[in-house]
Structures are given as C-alpha cells and as structure tokens.
Copies of this chain bind each other. A is one copy, B any other.
Amino acid sequence: MIHIDWKPSKESSKPLYIQIVEYFKEKINRGDWPVGSEIPTQRALARMFEVNRSTIVSALDELKAEGILEGKRKAGTKIINHSFPSLTHVQPNWQSYIEEGIHIPNLKTIKQINELEFNNHFIRLSTGEASPELFPAEKMAIVLREISKSMKNLGYEEPKGMVYLREQISNYLKLHGINASLSSILIVSGALQAIQLIAMGLLQPGSTVFLEKPSYLYSLQILQSMGMRRGGIPMDEEGIIGRLIKKYKRKNKSSILYTIPNFQNPTATVMSQNRRKELIKICQQEKIPIIEDDVYRELWIDNPPPTPLKSLDTNGLVLYVGSISKTLSPGLRIGWIVGPEPVINRLSDIKMQTDYGSSSLAQLTVGKWIETGLYEEHLHYLRKQLAIRRNITMDALEKYFSDIATWKIPSGGYYVWLSIKDPISMYKLFDEACKIGILLYPGYIYDSSPNQYLRISYSYASVRHLQEGLYKLSKLIRKLIKSNHK
C-alpha cells in the first residue's frame, strides 16, 4: 500500500482535488509509487488528506480519466500505465502536452452531462435551455428570408461588433433603464465568453471573484485555470448579502463581484430592489466592480424583476452582461457586455485576438429579431409557456417530493432548487439517476463544498418527461434514503 505523508493546502487558490491529483502524479512519476500499487479506499484517503470524500472522488475521477488509475469493482483501485495505449513511440507524448496545458479540465460531472445530453434516451432535467418545442422556427424562417434578401457581404466586423446589432441592443436596453452608447457595448459569443474576457482582460492571478454561494460560476473552471480565487458570499431571500463583502475582502487584493440578480442560477432567487441599491452603495465604497449577469431577466413568470443594477450605476461600476441564449436560441451564440468605454476597448481588443469577433451571420440575425419586434413577441409567448411548465413542475413536486425535499416556488427563470431532507450521497444520486435515464445537476457543482441540493430545470424536457422524470427521481431518492437507514 502506498504511503501518504502530505496534506493539500486549504489556503491555496488551487482546488484541493487538483492539488491531490498533482501529488499523485509527482509520486508516480518519481517512481515512489510503482505501477500496480493499490490505492486506499475513498474513506481512508479522505482521512489521510483531511478533506471531504467528494474531493477524493473528484481527484480519483480525474486520475482515472487521465489513465493513471484504474478502478475495478472488487479488486480496488490501482496505478496503471500512464500513457495512452494507442499512441506509438514515434508520436510526440501528447499526454504530457495535455497535462501540462494551462487549462484545468472541466469537472467530471459536467463533462459527463455534456456528453450524455446528446444521447436521446435521457430525460433532461439538467439542461438550462428552452425546450426545442419552444423554438420559434417560423419566426426564424421569416428573419432568415428577410436577411437573405438584403445581405451584401459578411466580412469581419468592427472590434466591438456589428454596428447594426449594437444599435438594436442600445435601443432594447433603454427599455430596461440602461443608457448605453454604441462604443460602450461589446458583442460577444454568449455570457460565458463575457466572463472569460473579463477574467483575461481585467483580473490577475491571485485576485478574488466574489459570487453568490451557490452560483453557476462555481461550475466553471475558467477562473481557477487563470489562478483566480472564488469568494462565496451567502444569500438570503433578497439575494446576495452585500454587507458581508466588507468582511470577506482581503486587503490590497483586487477583487470583483459576480452576481446573477434575476432568477439566479441555480437558486432562482430574485434580488430585491433594496438589496440592489445597498449592493451598489457597498461596492462603490469598497471600489469593487460588479459583473451583472442578467441573462434570465426576460424570463419572468409572475412579475417583471426590478431594474438592473446597471440602471442604478452612476459611476461606471457595473459591467452588464446580457444574451439571447436563454430567450431565443443558445445556438446563435450572441451576447453583450456594457461598461465604461476604456474597459470595453480593452475587452474588445482581447476578443479580436481570441476569435476575431462573433459570427456576423448570427449578429445580423439577432439584430433583425430585435428590430422587427419578433423578439418581443416571442418573449410574450415564451413567458406563457414557462408559466405552464413551472406550474406542472410545482404540482409534480407537491405530489412526489413533499415529504423528502423542500423548495421555493420560482417566480421566473428555468430552475427549481431542491433541498433533499435526508442526507444521501449526491454523487451516488447523480450516478444512479444516470442509470435510470435521468440527467440533473447535483448541487455540489455550484458550490465549493458539498450540499444536499439538486438543480431541476423545467425549461427543457417535454411536459410528459418532466412528470415522468420527477416521479422516477423521487422513487430513486426514497430508495437511497432507505438504504442509508439500513
């Protein structure tokens, strides 16, 4: 059995599981742990490294995915040969290139979902996307025909994006209280790219990104890949608790706040008007810029949410991020950032160096959707459909989950955040759910520590699948609770 004489550092900006992966590799590469060595159980490893078992699971998954460990049901986990069996001696050692790259691989669970989502046999309670049934195919055909009549050229666009689209977005943002000149708008390929550009262009390794705890941003590896820390701030029913930022802020370290004020991913919380004002005030005092990720704004079911933080911002504090991915089509890959001009200049420069701008065809298409009013029409329709789905989902939860879970009724967006009453292994739940054909996002991918939550999306699956999926899921959870009590 191998000998472990080291513990990962909880102070490091590197995730614990990555530290453990690196420790394993070093030991194996140095020959300390020969091929064939048996690895202790997860429980034992968790004790030795003084970490949660979930961290061990992530580390072992990674090592298995990289072909360094091999787990066999009965025989335990062993160190196996390191290199891809398929690669010959003449080939460069791609594996070492893959391992040495800067970028941290996506979380195992997310990778698995990304792949399984394209398998038609699954009920997708995972997907944060409008159902294909809700895709406005007829309206899209109208827009494309419109475009094909007038199109003259499709070249590279200005660094900040197509002028026509920026005009349309500028007009559209006025409806939400934001006055944005064309030169303060940058077109990007979705909100995710917005976050990446901001991280690359404005943050430095070691800086802190404050965020809601839990948050979608925890599911991305991108900040950690660049050496940035994530500082989770608790939430209450009014949203992120802004006043806590002062407490968490480390002296002389640059930081930024990332928030999803409307129908937050994954909790569906809407930040109250008062909290918005308070947050702006605190961030002004502390000189912490805000990234406002507002991609869910239009998806209100009961009432429109308060106006954006950006509309309250008189000092260029807020970088406002929007997109049509959640409302019209994620496949177009179009979003935008609004912010102070020098910042937008900087980000557009990086965008140019990254991909020379977003697809002109997609930009033209989105511009036309907004200009013709078809976008506004579609939003009306989408809200009605979302209300139906939300209500059906609440009925199903009431029926199947009332004794095993708690939740708040979302007033918009795509998600309901389910808290399982009895402690069960969420890793096991995820795996077992996959086996019975249900995909969902376990709460641990949205947090730095394990929890008992599930994110259920009611936007994607068909109504029949929603009901069937929730029924089967409730049965599975009951089974796991039962086996816990044995």
Contact = CB atoms under 8 A, between A and B. Distances in A.
Interface string A66-90: 0000000000000000001001101
Given A94-B289, A189-B355, A349 B203 contact: no
B159 A135 contact: no
Given A203-B97, A203-B100, A333 B353 contact: no
Interface string A343-365: 10010011011111111111001
A101 interface: yes
Nearest to A144: B148
A135 B154 contact: yes
B149 A141 contact: yes
A192 B355 contact: yes
B196 A354 contact: yes
A105 interface: yes
Interface stretch (A165-173, A219-227, A396-404): A219-227
Given A145-B145, A359-B333, A287 B92 contact: yes
Contacts of A352: 106, 114
A155 B342 CA distance: 34
Interface in A186-243: 189-190, 192-193, 196, 200-205, 207, 220-222, 225-226
Query: How many copies of this chain?
Result: 2
Contacts of A343: 94, 97-98
Contact of A137 (B135, B153, B196, B329): B153
A157 to B, nearest CB: 7
Contacts of A158: 118
A360 B342 contact: no
**How many of chain A's residues touch chain B, expressed as a range?**
35 or more
Which residue among A129, A343, A353 has the maximum number of chain B CB atoms within 10 Å of its CB?
A353
A3 interface: no
A358 B357 CA distance: 11
Contacts of A358: 189, 333, 359
Which residue among A114, A115, A343 has the maximum number of chain B CB atoms within 10 Å of its CB?
A114
B151 A94 contact: no
B361 A365 contact: yes
A43 interface: no
Nearest to A287: B92
A156 interface: yes
Given A101-B346, A145-B148, 7 more contacts: A91-B315, A189-B356, A190-B355, A196-B354, A222-B354, A329-B361, A332-B359
22 contacts: A90-B317, A94-B340, A98-B342, A100-B204, A101-B202, A101-B203, A102-B200, A102-B203, A102-B226, A106-B352, A106-B353, A111-B349, A140-B154, A141-B151, A144-B144, A154-B331, A189-B359, A193-B355, A196-B354, A333-B356, A333-B358, A362-B362
